[in-house]
Structure 1
Amino acid sequence: MAESTTEQLAGDARPQLDLAGAAWQSSGQGRRSNVQIAFVDGFVAMRDRRDPGVPAVIFSPGEWRAFVLSARDGEFDLT
């Protein structure tokens, strides 16, 4: 498991995770899958496969659940 440190960022208690050794998983199959996630120290990190140098978005377990449920409900669908 990757090491993590905790730092306060503008009132955000979100930890700064060490993602160097993270096992990134693609969201789907083939070239159309650009989103990758990794489970690190009890959090979920999400990044763009095409640009892994951009900082990942970090979700707590509750935030991840809310995000997934909202996506399933079509909240983020483009019209």
Structure 2
Amino acid sequence: MDLSDVHWATSSYTNRWTKTCVEVADLGGGAVAVRDSDNRDLPPLRFTAGEWAAFRSGVRDGEFG
């Protein structure tokens, strides 16, 4: 899938001094692509709807803290 026309959203938690953050693009059907806002030449990571839902659930449950 070509990602040149997707809309990339930046988190509201972006570091305001360095502007470092990740960006997320909706790929449809719950799938997403994630990229580093500082290294946009690197290939984005792609996640299925199930993978993304599991990640979000883990964040909410504090699994990564």
Normalising by structure 2, what TM-score? 0.78
How many residue pairs get matched? 61
Q: Which runs of 4+ in 1 moved over 6 A?
A: none
Q: Is the 8 A contact 1:25 1:36 kept in 2?
A: yes
- Give 5+ residue unaligned stretches, structure 2: none
Q: Which residue of 28, 31, 51 corresponds with 2:12?
A: 28
Sequence identity (%)? 39
Q: Which has the higher contact order (CA 8 A, sep 6+)?
A: 2
Q: Is the 8 A contact 1:26 1:33 kept in 2?
A: no
| Cα distance, 1:28 vs structure 2 | 1.4
Q: Is the 8 A contact 1:35 1:47 kept in 2?
A: yes
Structure 1 or 2, whichever has the larger Rg, is 1
Cα distance change on mapping 1:29 and 1:74 into 2, 3 Å? closer
- Give 5+ residue unaligned stretches, structure 1: 1-16
- Root-mean-square deviation (CA), in Å? 1.7
